[in-house]
Amino acid sequence: MSDTPTRAQAARSVLAAKKRLGLRWDKIAEAVDRSVEWSTSALLGQQTLTADQARAAGDLLELDPATVEALTWPPDRGAEASDTTDPLVYRLTEVVQVYGSTISELVREEFGDGIVSAIDFELDLHRVEDPKGDRVVITLNGKFLPYRVW
Amino acid sequence: MSDTPTRAQAARSVLAAKKRLGLRWDKIAEAVDRSVEWSTSALLGQQTLTADQARAAGDLLELDPATVEALTWPPDRGAEASDTTDPLVYRLTEVVQVYGSTISELVREEFGDGIVSAIDFELDLHRVEDPKGDRVVITLNGKFLPYRVW
Amino acid sequence: MSDTPTRAQAARSVLAAKKRLGLRWDKIAEAVDRSVEWSTSALLGQQTLTADQARAAGDLLELDPATVEALTWPPDRGAEASDTTDPLVYRLTEVVQVYGSTISELVREEFGDGIVSAIDFELDLHRVEDPKGDRVVITLNGKFLPYRVW
Amino acid sequence: MSDTPTRAQAARSVLAAKKRLGLRWDKIAEAVDRSVEWSTSALLGQQTLTADQARAAGDLLELDPATVEALTWPPDRGAEASDTTDPLVYRLTEVVQVYGSTISELVREEFGDGIVSAIDFELDLHRVEDPKGDRVVITLNGKFLPYRVW
Amino acid sequence: MSDTPTRAQAARSVLAAKKRLGLRWDKIAEAVDRSVEWSTSALLGQQTLTADQARAAGDLLELDPATVEALTWPPDRGAEASDTTDPLVYRLTEVVQVYGSTISELVREEFGDGIVSAIDFELDLHRVEDPKGDRVVITLNGKFLPYRVW
Amino acid sequence: MSDTPTRAQAARSVLAAKKRLGLRWDKIAEAVDRSVEWSTSALLGQQTLTADQARAAGDLLELDPATVEALTWPPDRGAEASDTTDPLVYRLTEVVQVYGSTISELVREEFGDGIVSAIDFELDLHRVEDPKGDRVVITLNGKFLPYRVW
Amino acid sequence: MSDTPTRAQAARSVLAAKKRLGLRWDKIAEAVDRSVEWSTSALLGQQTLTADQARAAGDLLELDPATVEALTWPPDRGAEASDTTDPLVYRLTEVVQVYGSTISELVREEFGDGIVSAIDFELDLHRVEDPKGDRVVITLNGKFLPYRVW
Amino acid sequence: MSDTPTRAQAARSVLAAKKRLGLRWDKIAEAVDRSVEWSTSALLGQQTLTADQARAAGDLLELDPATVEALTWPPDRGAEASDTTDPLVYRLTEVVQVYGSTISELVREEFGDGIVSAIDFELDLHRVEDPKGDRVVITLNGKFLPYRVW
Amino acid sequence: MSDTPTRAQAARSVLAAKKRLGLRWDKIAEAVDRSVEWSTSALLGQQTLTADQARAAGDLLELDPATVEALTWPPDRGAEASDTTDPLVYRLTEVVQVYGSTISELVREEFGDGIVSAIDFELDLHRVEDPKGDRVVITLNGKFLPYRVW
Amino acid sequence: MSDTPTRAQAARSVLAAKKRLGLRWDKIAEAVDRSVEWSTSALLGQQTLTADQARAAGDLLELDPATVEALTWPPDRGAEASDTTDPLVYRLTEVVQVYGSTISELVREEFGDGIVSAIDFELDLHRVEDPKGDRVVITLNGKFLPYRVW
């Protein structure tokens, strides 16, 4: 087993191969046959890839078999796999800090007592051109789950 | 000055008045003449209201003058004003934890080295009907800011 | 609004009234017309009570109107509302610490990649007699939610 | 001694062998001759295996002798051996946070002053089919221990 | 209920009354009819007193009825009720830090895999005269609890 | 110097040798010519061994010279050398949490303002048979040190 | 008892009275009949004053009887009674950070395995004139305590 | 560069050489031509040594050239280079905790608003014989720096 | 003394009065006869004001005598007096995080081993007009202090 | 990819080469063709270098190709890449702590509600000679960003 890299090591190999081959994430997503956002998170170690998806990504990125194998292991979704003090990620944490109470209020008013699922969840990110400076639009789409009463 | 409530106390008065009068946030936003999301966050203490906006909200919510005055004080945007361990807010924090590296990668590929502004930023939240369970769609729209090189 | 107690203050009033009147939680649950476990958590401030449920509990516990009103406010589910260093609660935290990896493995083997919902969730607690010392049996019953792939 | 892997390293070898051989935990538990839940936690490093149990598991999983030896070392039950920020494990932590006070109240009412043992303790996990989505039922069964008065 | 002091407030009243009346803990323990150590911890808010024990202590200490009532409420055993940075208490924490691994080893060798109960537990503290300086002898007496295998 | 193991590495070698040779701590203590408790803590890295004591332990445990040398280096008594979240050690931490204020009160009443030394200190641990389950009796024996007034 | 201020409140009254009356700490120390350093720490809540010392300080500072009484209560020596992030106090913390290993080495070389007592301890602080800027000389004088071997 | 040890590794080599050669710190300080305290802290990695000082220490301690080179690199003065939970170092931290407010008061009274420099600073440590037990006298000598007003 | 507000309460009174009277900080600084930056920090509780400066500020801001008195008390410079999670202040903390190593390198190259004083220190803040968006220029001016060698 | 050093390893190679070759940062900045401050932060791992900039720095510093390659990888801007407890860096943190509220007030008064960008940001550091001791002048120049209202 000691020959199998961890998911974090596999992610670094993916990034190095992507850079060396000059590939973009949409090209990799095409091979995986899923959205760009899901495919990126999967290759960075946050989602489970099937053996077929791992093989397709491995063929495109010319990864060695042990790295392809590693991509099918369970993902690293804990706090240690993300550096929330990186300036870019911190801005998102600050959005949750500043707007968390607003989102709670509006969800509760519209749906009642419950939460927005982070599991039955989709992420979309795209560029919107703007003469005053282009914008990043990130869409969080989660199923509303009501608290069960019994 | 001891007669002026804090922004947090003003927010509790707003919530109590809203409940007593049976108002919805879109009605309050209309009085403030801004979007529902911004108006909600402003009345919850996260944005600065002008004297006119505070008066309009105060008239609708039948707030006392000291509370109206408090709404024009600087907002409480620090970490203590948001409870990130509340289950609803925690799900958003988890989204940042799980998808933070994905967002970093995709922003960097598309825009280069920089961040997504949490200041030149808009939040939108709406319901999408779905036969398998309605969904909450939260859109984060922030200007891309490139790192300055000098 | 300053006359309305917080959910935590309402919970203390409930506990004092329950003690003074010599009531048990199953009796209170009967008035609320829900399970003992849900009713207890609701009166301790962890669930939303409808106006009718609050009134029924208030009548039985002889609570004043402001406390009854407080029971219909949004619940306090954040980390501060629970003292996880209390010896009884700590034992449960330790169970998660010691058996968390086991539960992850068995859920993943049986269901695939996903989580056990803490929202679409029921709690049951009962006594099992045992000649070597009676036992507390706590059942956590949550819907399996698979990670969405898109 | 430097040839003996740690319990954490042994656990990773177990997982790799299990995957390579296509075994399920119930099959491994049969070899160990204990319940699925206990056997899983033991092989993941949370329980002490006897030399016989380790050998039986090692034979089935084709582990090398040093790994079999490692399985008989004292377990790693500290906080570092469990990642409570993993989304699946976090949901259990949140259950303790939200329902901890309810469990305290009901245990105290039924049994008096004491705790639920995490040592004289059994874990059971099984699937319950449900047309609205199958459910995970986790049963925590611990002896009640009264506080000693002297 | 707002007239009932908390356990912490009751403890302060006990300490003030004890000082004013010039009583010693052994005298108070006699009234409570339990050991000095248990009685002290109970009046400081760490144990549940029966109504009779609370009344006996209240009579001796001339406490008001609300304080006597408070002594029968559930104890405060969480981390916040103890200041482990106080120099005297810190020395005990340091003993656990320095000798924790030794105690683990010796318990495991003598008893097998398990823990020393902090619930089925007695504390004894007494003075031992010594010409080089008198000593404090603290005895921790806990039942050994073996880990259950199932 | 890179050939000298750390105290932590020496401790692991001691544990492995002890297991391989089937020795008990009292036998090792006899070689070291000190109490079982002190000898155990010394070999686990918490006390300074003289060259003679290290040699005697090394002869019995068949340790290599570099490990024997390591045993004479300064001990690791900091917080990192002890895992206080291990269930057995945690129970002792909880005893300090629950009974810390009681010990403070009784020491102050009996001795005046001061502390119980953790340096001029002896630890004793032994088994007491009990038909309801044998008990672990841990005795902490420290010199009282009064605060100096100048 | 509610009329007795805490030690922290008594300290604030001492500081206010000292300022109002234009007294210096050496004058107050004279009344207490102890060193300036000990007297200051005692009146700031870090030492136990006898009834006579409290009375003498109270007469000089014109304190009310409840404050004088409070000065005889047990001191607040925990971490919360000192703000180590205050710039002046932080510099001392930094000295321990930067020179802690040096002090350990030199004490161990000169005295053997042990510690410098913070209990059998005296503090002295005085000004030393220096043409390049006057200096503060703080002397920490603690008894060496060897680790007991048994 | 990978051949150059870190300052921490160099410090361990210094300690090993010092032990092997049976040298004392005052002898090493003589070679460095600075005080014992400064020389010790410098060789432990807390000060910058000049090339000449490093060479002189290296000659005496028979260090290899890479270690001598390492001694001239910038020091490690951050919190991670000191273990403040080591019992000896902790006692110093406790002194700051208990006497920090006293030092603040006396410095402010004598010098006005400012701090005691930890940079323009000297440390002295020596033994004072005492029939009741020898004492460690640690002198902290820092320049007073007044807050600038502009 | 209970009539004297704390420095934090005095700062809130200053802000309320400033708003009510429509004053700017440069006007207040003129009364205090110091720079805008120093005067602002002093009135917000971070510097010591002389009795004359406090009186001048009090006259302009129409503060009551107790608040004027409070302004002459020692400042609150600890971490609790500043909310570093406020978005504006956080950006400065991030600058230290991102550029701290750069500043260390450049100071060390230019000046040798030492620090930039935060005590013998001046702050300047002004607006620089820029067609692409005006800029905030913050100048930190601190005396270089070399580490003393002795 | 395992041959590519991390940004932190590349930074250590840069520092070693700079020392060996006796270069100054302004010379390196000349090769990179950017300011001294930006170039230093880039080579220490805080900015993205283009392939040309990395090559130019690599030629001057005689770095191996893998290190040159590493310099073009994304920077490490998270909290772990900076040791804020180093005395020099800590002084800057303290400046933010002491003057953060002042900066907030003055920015808000002059610009309205918003922040000072840490992204559209320039750092300048230079020496100012002063007969009382030379000074370090650090200029933080960031674009003002107003909070968007929508």
**Distance between CA atoms of residues C147 and C114, nearest Å:** 5
What residues of B are in contact with residue A87 (Cβ under 8 Å)? Answer: 115
**Distance between CA atoms of residues J92 and J106, nearest Å:** 19
Say yes or no to pLDDT of F1 above 80. Answer: no
Residue with tokens 């051109």: A129
Residues in Cβ contact with H73 at an 8 Å cutoff, skipping those fewer than 6 apart? H4, H7
Rounded mean pLDDT of chain E?
A: 95
With b for 16 or more beta-carbon neighbours within 10 A and e for fewer, the G108-142 pattern comes to: eeebebbbbbbbbbbbebeeeeeeeeebbbbbbbb
Give the mean pLDDT of A116-120. 98
Please tell me the predicted confidence (pLDDT) of residue C83.
87
Say yes or no to pLDDT of J82 above 90. Answer: no
Point out the catalytic residue in the list I24, I104, I108, I117. I117
User: Dihedral of CA E42/E45/E51/E55: which sign?
Assistant: positive
Asked if G96 lies within 8 A of H94 by C-beta distance, the reply is no
Chain C: give the shortest CA distance to residue F100, in Å: 15
Please tell me the predicted confidence (pLDDT) of residue A62.
98
Cβ(E17)–Cβ(E59) under 8 Å?
no
Please tell me the predicted confidence (pLDDT) of residue H97.
96
Q: Is I16 on the interface with B (CB under 8 A)?
A: yes
**Distance between CA atoms of residues C91 and C102, nearest Å:** 17
Under DSSP, the state recorded for J113 is S
Min mean pLDDT across A3-7, A89-93, G59-63 is at A3-7
**Distance between CA atoms of residues E10 and E64, nearest Å:** 10
- Chain A / chain D CB contacts < 8 angstroms: 17
CA proximity to G31, closest of G75, G68, G81, G74? G68
Please tell me the predicted confidence (pLDDT) of residue H81.
81
Say yes or no to pLDDT of B2 above 60. Answer: no
- Quick one: tokens of E82? 């103890």
Say yes or no to pLDDT of D71 above 50. Answer: yes
**Distance between CA atoms of residues C39 and C11, nearest Å:** 12
The pLDDT tens digits of the residues spanning G62-119 come to 999 999 999 999 999 998 888 899 999 999 999 999 999 999 999 999 999 999 999 9
Give the mean pLDDT of F101-126. 97
Give the mean pLDDT of A99-128. 97
The pLDDT tens digits of the residues spanning I3-40 come to 689 999 999 999 999 999 999 999 999 999 999 999 99
Q: Is C93 on the interface with F (CB under 8 A)?
A: no
Rounded mean pLDDT of chain D?
A: 95
Say yes or no to pLDDT of E1 above 70. Answer: no
Query: Nearest by CB to I85, which of B79, B118, B119?
Result: B79
Q: For residue H92, what is the nearest residue in chain E, using CA coordinates?
A: E87
Point out the catalytic residue in the list B20, B105, B117, B122. B117
Give the mean pLDDT of C127-144. 98
Edge-first strand order for the sheet with C135-146 is C114-128, C135-146, D135-146, D114-128
What residues of B are in contact with residue I13 (Cβ under 8 Å)? Answer: 1
Under DSSP, the state recorded for A62 is T
F126 beta partners: F137
Cβ(E58)–Cβ(E21) under 8 Å?
no
- Quick one: tokens of E91? 């020395």
Q: For residue D13, what is the nearest residue in chain A, using CA coordinates?
A: A1
Q: Is D87 on the interface with B (CB under 8 A)?
A: yes
Give the mean pLDDT of C35-45. 98
Query: Nearest by CB to D85, which of A4, A79, A119?
Result: A79
ipTM associated with this complex: 0.95
Please tell me the predicted confidence (pLDDT) of residue B81.
81
Query: Nearest by CB to C117, which of A48, A113, A145?
Result: A145
Rounded mean pLDDT of chain F?
A: 95
Q: For residue B123, what is the nearest residue in chain J, using CA coordinates?
A: J150
Q: Is E128 on the interface with D (CB under 8 A)?
A: no
The pLDDT tens digits of the residues spanning I98-134 come to 999 999 999 999 999 999 999 999 999 999 999 999 9
The pLDDT tens digits of the residues spanning F85-94 come to 999 999 999 9
Asked if A34 lies within 8 A of C150 by C-beta distance, the reply is yes
Min mean pLDDT across E128-142, H135-149, J66-80 is at J66-80
Query: Nearest by CB to A101, which of B44, B111, B145?
Result: B44
Write phi, then psi, for J136 (nearest 5 degrees).
-100, 125
Chain C: give the shortest CA distance to residue A100, in Å: 13
Q: Is A80 on the interface with D (CB under 8 A)?
A: yes
Q: What is the DSSP string of chain B?
A: -TTSPPHHHHHHHHHHHHHHHT--HHHHHHHHTS-HHHHHHHHTTSSPPPHHHHHHHHHHHT--HHHHHHTTSPP--SGGGS-TTSHHHHHHHHHHHHHHHHHHHHHHHHH-SEEEEEEEEEEEEEEE--TT--EEEEEEEEEEEEPP--
**Distance between CA atoms of residues H117 and F148, nearest Å:** 28
Residues in Cβ contact with C127 at an 8 Å cutoff, skipping those fewer than 6 apart? C134, C135, C136, C137, D110, D111, D144
What residues of H are in contact with residue E98 (Cβ under 8 Å)? Answer: 87
Q: What is the largest CA-CA distance in chain H?
A: 56
Q: Is J86 on the interface with I (CB under 8 A)?
A: yes
Please identify every residue of D annotated as catalytic: 91, 94, 117
**Distance between CA atoms of residues A92 and A98, nearest Å:** 10
G55 beta partners: none
Q: In terms of C-beta density within 10 A (0-12 exposed, 13-18 middle, 19 or more buried), how is residue J51 classed?
A: exposed
Residue with tokens 């008894």: G143
Question: Phi-psi bin for J4: left (phi > 0), alpha (psi -120 to 50), beta?
Answer: beta
Cβ(B114)–Cβ(B122) under 8 Å?
no
CA F19 from centroid of its chain's CA atoms: 19
Please tell me the predicted confidence (pLDDT) of residue F126.
97
Q: Is B12 on the interface with C (CB under 8 A)?
A: yes
Asked if I140 lies within 8 A of J140 by C-beta distance, the reply is yes
**Taking the CA atoms of chain J, what radius of gyration do you get in angstroms?**
18
Q: For residue B121, what is the nearest residue in chain J, using CA coordinates?
A: J148
Higher pLDDT among residues H81 and H106, named by residue? H106
Say yes or no to pLDDT of B73 above 60. Answer: yes
Please tell me the predicted confidence (pLDDT) of residue F81.
82
Please tell me the predicted confidence (pLDDT) of residue G134.
98
What residues of A are in contact with residue C40 (Cβ under 8 Å)? Answer: none
**Distance between CA atoms of residues D79 and I130, nearest Å:** 53
Mutation test of the interface with chain G: which of H86, H90, H96, H126, choosing the one with the most G Cβ atoms within 10 A?
A: H96
Say yes or no to pLDDT of C1 above 90. Answer: no
**Distance between CA atoms of residues B15 and B23, nearest Å:** 10
Contact of chains C and D by CB distance (3 or more pairs under 8 angstroms): yes
Q: For residue E2, what is the nearest residue in chain C, using CA coordinates?
A: C13
Cβ(C106)–Cβ(D40) under 8 Å?
yes
Residues in Cβ contact with I141 at an 8 Å cutoff, skipping those fewer than 6 apart? I121, I122, I123, I124, J128, J135, J136, J137, J138
Q: For residue D119, what is the nearest residue in chain F, using CA coordinates?
A: F87
Cβ(B50)–Cβ(B32) under 8 Å?
no
Say yes or no to pLDDT of G1 above 50. Answer: no
The pLDDT tens digits of the residues spanning F35-62 come to 999 999 999 999 999 999 999 999 999 9
The pLDDT tens digits of the residues spanning D2-50 come to 468 999 999 999 999 999 999 999 999 999 999 999 999 999 999 999 9
Q: Which domains does chain G have, with CATH numbers?
A: 7-80 (1.10.260.40), 83-146 (3.30.1160.10)
**Distance between CA atoms of residues C25 and D103, nearest Å:** 12
What residues of C are in contact with residue E78 (Cβ under 8 Å)? Answer: 83, 85-86
Q: Provide the pLDDT confidence category of residue I60 given band limits of 50, 70 and 90.
A: very high
Q: Provide the pLDDT confidence category of residue G3 given band limits of 50, 70 and 90.
A: low
Point out the catalytic residue in the list J62, J94, J105, J122. J94
What residues of F are in contact with residue E14 (Cβ under 8 Å)? Answer: none
**Distance between CA atoms of residues A50 and A38, nearest Å:** 13
The pLDDT tens digits of the residues spanning F7-20 come to 999 999 999 999 99
Q: Is A148 a catalytic residue?
A: no
Say yes or no to pLDDT of H1 above 60. Answer: no
Q: Provide the pLDDT confidence category of residue J80 given band limits of 50, 70 and 90.
A: confident
- Quick one: tokens of F28? 């090792």
Chain A: give the shortest CA distance to residue J22, in Å: 33
Q: Which chains share 3+ C-beta pairs under 8 angstroms with F?
A: C, D, E, G, H
- Quick one: tokens of F145? 């040190």
**Distance between CA atoms of residues G98 and G93, nearest Å:** 9
The pLDDT tens digits of the residues spanning G22-38 come to 999 999 999 999 999 99
Q: Which chains share 3+ C-beta pairs under 8 angstroms with C?
A: A, B, D, E, F
Give the mean pLDDT of E126-146. 98
Write phi, then psi, for F78 (nearest 5 degrees).
-75, 175
Cβ(H132)–Cβ(H139) under 8 Å?
no
CA F10 from centroid of its chain's CA atoms: 15
- Quick one: tokens of I69? 């008195």
Asked if D86 lies within 8 A of A77 by C-beta distance, the reply is yes
Q: Is A94 on the interface with I (CB under 8 A)?
A: yes
Q: Which chains share 3+ C-beta pairs under 8 angstroms with A?
A: B, C, D, I, J
Question: Chain A neighbours among D 54-73 (CB < 8 Å)?
Answer: none
Asked if B104 lies within 8 A of A93 by C-beta distance, the reply is no
Please tell me the predicted confidence (pLDDT) of residue A1.
42
Q: Is F94 on the interface with D (CB under 8 A)?
A: no
What residues of I are in contact with residue A90 (Cβ under 8 Å)? Answer: 90, 94
The pLDDT tens digits of the residues spanning E105-132 come to 999 999 999 999 999 999 999 999 999 9
Chain C: give the shortest CA distance to residue E108, in Å: 18
Please tell me the predicted confidence (pLDDT) of residue E142.
98
Q: Is E23 on the interface with F (CB under 8 A)?
A: no
The pLDDT tens digits of the residues spanning B93-108 come to 999 999 999 999 999 9
Q: With both helix axes pointing from N to C terminus, report the angle between B51-61 and B25-32 in degrees, rounded to the nearest 10.
A: 140
**Taking the CA atoms of chain C, what radius of gyration do you get in angstroms?**
18
Cβ(C116)–Cβ(D81) under 8 Å?
no
Q: Is I1 on the interface with G (CB under 8 A)?
A: yes
Asked if H118 lies within 8 A of J13 by C-beta distance, the reply is no
Helices (H), E112-145: none
The pLDDT tens digits of the residues spanning E59-85 come to 999 999 999 999 999 999 998 888 899
**Distance between CA atoms of residues F94 and A116, nearest Å:** 37
Please identify every residue of G annotated as catalytic: 91, 94, 117
Residues in Cβ contact with I77 at an 8 Å cutoff, skipping those fewer than 6 apart? G86, G87, I46, J97, J98
Asked if J97 lies within 8 A of G85 by C-beta distance, the reply is yes
Q: Is B134 on the interface with C (CB under 8 A)?
A: no
Give the mean pLDDT of J35-61. 97
The pLDDT tens digits of the residues spanning B5-51 come to 999 999 999 999 999 999 999 999 999 999 999 999 999 999 999 99
Q: Is I86 on the interface with B (CB under 8 A)?
A: yes
Say yes or no to pLDDT of C117 above 50. Answer: yes
- Return the SS3 of C57: helix
How far, CA to CA in Å, does I96 sit from each of I92, J76, J107? 7, 14, 19
Residues in Cβ contact with G3 at an 8 Å cutoff, skipping those fewer than 6 apart? G66
Asked if J94 lies within 8 A of G90 by C-beta distance, the reply is yes
Q: Provide the pLDDT confidence category of residue I47 given band limits of 50, 70 and 90.
A: very high
Chain G: give the shortest CA distance to residue H2, in Å: 26
CA proximity to B135, closest of A119, J53, A125, D27? A119
Higher pLDDT among residues A81 and D143, named by residue? D143
Q: What is the DSSP string of C81-135?
A: GS-TTSHHHHHHHHHHHHHHHHHHHHHHHHH-SEEEEEEEEEEEEEEE--TT--E
Give the mean pLDDT of H11-19. 96
Asked if H144 lies within 8 A of G133 by C-beta distance, the reply is yes
